[in-house]
Amino acid sequence: MIKLQNIEKVYRTDTIETLALNGINLHVAKGEFLSIMGPSGCGKSTLLNIMGLLDEPSNGQLHIDGHTVTKLSDKELAGFRNKRLGFIFQSYHLINDLNVLDNVELPLLYRKVNAKERRRLATAALEKVGLSNRLRHFPTQLSGGQKQRVAIARAIVGEPEIILADEPTGNLDSAMGNEVMDILIQLNQQDKTTIVMVTHDEQMARKTHRLVRLFDGAQVQ
């Protein structure tokens, strides 16, 4: 499903060059739930961002579902992200000015989906994460766990094949973290969604199919 070949990421300033990822080779199978662990600054999020086409590798090739995606234009990348990828961020990144339903509808705004259908799909996604009673609430009126469930609903509303989650339980207490994790496991098992999750939490990582460890930008496990 996702194939990374010799991926490198170098950050350059006038005086210093930092190798954030060093020759990463990784294959994520369709329907797999993979977790990535490692100490802070080891390149986990950078790797996830490259897989999510939010960042470009300095070297190497990235293939998603047989497509080489390293040379796509801005428009093609946007279309690819919109149809095939869903994102969950540690700090949720909900739009506080929009209510829950409008936040979840967001990916559908960039597809040719009419308003009625958008509403139906967003409501269904929110029902899936147990938030159908909070449609008109604004993000500031929700708890951390509820916010992350809204973010999950937003990630799945467009039925993407891949979900990329960057420390989705990082800002939550263990109970809420487990709730979010259960939803992700359910999505993986029921909908066969491929999930790649960056986490610091060994316990959460153990619930996934496979664990990849990074250290100083290199894969060590």
Nearer to another protein, 28 or 151 (CB): 151
SS3 154: helix
Contact present, 183 and 107 (Cβ < 8 Å): no
Q: Which of 5, 58, 59, 93 binds another protein (CB under 8 A)?
A: 93
The residue from 44, 81, 134, 147 that contacts another protein (CB under 8 A) is 81
> Minimal CA–CA distance to 104: which of 150, 36, 52, 140?
150
Q: Which CB, 19 or 106, lies closer to another protein?
A: 106
Binding mask 154-183 for another protein (x = CB under 8 A): x---x-------------------------
147 binds another protein (CB under 8 A): no
Element (H, E) at 6: strand 2-12
Find the part of the chain contacting another protein (CB under 8 A) among 27-35, 36-44, 95-103, 196-204: 95-103
Q: Cα separation of 106 and 90, whole Å?
A: 18
Binding segment (CB under 8 A) for another protein, from list 76-84, 140-148, 176-184, 193-201: 76-84
Q: What proportions of the chain, in percent to the nearest 5, are helix, strand and coil?
A: 40, 25, 35
Min dist. Cβ of residue 203 to another protein (A): 26
Interface with another protein, residue 33, by CB under 8 A: no
Question: Residue 164 in contact with residue 48, Cβ under 8 Å?
Answer: yes
CA dihedral 56, 184, 33, 91 (to 10 degrees): 30
Residue ranges in contact with another protein by CB under 8 A: 49, 52, 54-55, 74-75, 78-79, 81-83, 87, 89, 93-95, 97-98, 102, 105-107, 109-111, 115, 154, 158
